[in-house]
Amino acid sequence: MIYTRLKLKYSGFALDVDLQLPGRGVTALYGHSGSGKTTCLRCIAGLERAEQGFVQVNDEIWQDSDQQIFVPPHKRALGYVFQEASLFPHLSVLANLEFGLKRIPKQQRRVDMTHATELLGIGHLLDRLPHNLSGGERQRIGIARALLTSPNLLLMDEPLAALDSQRKGEILPYLQRLHDELDIPVLYVSHSQDEVARLADHIVLLGNGKALASGPIGETLARLDLPLALGDDAGVVIEGQVSAYDPDYQLLTLQLPGTALNIRVTHTPMDAGQALRCKVQARDVSLSLHGVEQSSILNRLPVTVISEMGADNAAHVLIRLDAAGTPLLARITRYSRDQLSVHPGQQLWAQIKAVAVLA
């Protein structure tokens, strides 16, 4: 487990958080600019010293202001990935990686050079200098260098923020591999809900230096009482299991957890039994009183209405739904709500286009 209690004041800003986070997987610190994400991360790293602070990563205490304990950053078993890779320009990729590796005695190394280069897909880049790399390649080198310090905790401060959409698309699969293949907990700072939905297991929503919510990604994104539900990219994360693949139409059938219900999504081939995460945007969910069979919309799920909240657009409302234990959100017009007489406890059909599911 990761325990943090941090209090820090600047002119016009105060950080005051008390968090207990999972000791494995990816935890996202999410919020708008100025919410305190990076300040929180820097305090955990020891780059900022909280006036009142307690930081414990598994069995290691890095700060305890009550006991006057403060472990300096270079003695904390962590890796830090910044927005810019900040590689040494005069050193080759291999020499940059060896800089991180040489900090750790051989008997303490948890990640070796071969493993790091294979995970990040950079084996063919080892002889190049940084100025001959793309932005995405430089960032992958930076991540590999952080991993080669064999950290007990990996901190990532908006690692995709400086990249264009194409480069982000290139690097995201590598970040997913880190999530799937390494047993190193990650704290991932981002203001992109789509990034968070794709990578995180747990999310902390920060606002004005305080933790507004902290919990598993699926449950937290579906909460109507949080600002997460108000944006145009609001939606839920579903982690299901592949049950079939249709090669003619390139459609996966994904069984929802704990139920016989399934959805179909456009995707490359995957074997039955494999896990897949997808995001369903609230704006892509429509509601109907009846399950219409003859339709271009492939996914029709029986749902129960749980609750309703006004949206950021006065013409819209947000409806929280339950599909046999899987939460969904639907953004519909107030007119549609009234035409369907939507109310808590009502049985409806949720309709989702296969092409709209972000897998």
pTM, to two decimals: 0.87
| More confident of the two residues 179 and 318 | 318
**Is residue 194's pLDDT more than 80?**
yes
Confidence of residue 155 (pLDDT cuts 50, 70, 90): very high
| More confident of the two residues 304 and 178 | 304
As given in the structure block, the two tokens for residue 148 are 């080669």
- The pLDDT of 333-355, averaged and rounded, is 94
- The pLDDT of 227-242, averaged and rounded, is 86
- The domain segmentation of the chain, as residue ranges, is 2-221, 235-356
Contacts of 75 (CB under 8 A, 6+ apart): none
| pLDDT tens column, 200-230 | 999 999 999 999 999 999 889 888 888 887 7
The sheet carrying 299-310 orders its strands as 285-288, 347-352, 299-310, 316-323, 326-333
| pLDDT tens column, 88-141 | 999 999 999 988 787 787 777 888 899 899 989 999 999 999 999 988 899 999
Confidence of residue 285 (pLDDT cuts 50, 70, 90): very high
- Predicted pLDDT at 102: 79
| pLDDT tens column, 243-266 | 999 999 999 999 998 888 999 999
Q: Which fold has domain 2-221?
A: Rossmann fold (3.40.50)
What is the second-level CATH architecture of the domain 235-356? Beta Barrel (2.40)
- Predicted pLDDT at 191: 86
Q: Do the first three CATH levels of 2-221 and 235-356 match, i.e. the same topology? A: no
CB contact burial 60-97 (16+ within 10 A = b; e otherwise): eebbebeeeeeeeeeebbbbbbbbebebeeeebbbebb
Confidence of residue 53 (pLDDT cuts 50, 70, 90): very high
The torsion of the CA quartet 260, 261, 264, 265, rounded to 10 degrees, works out to -100
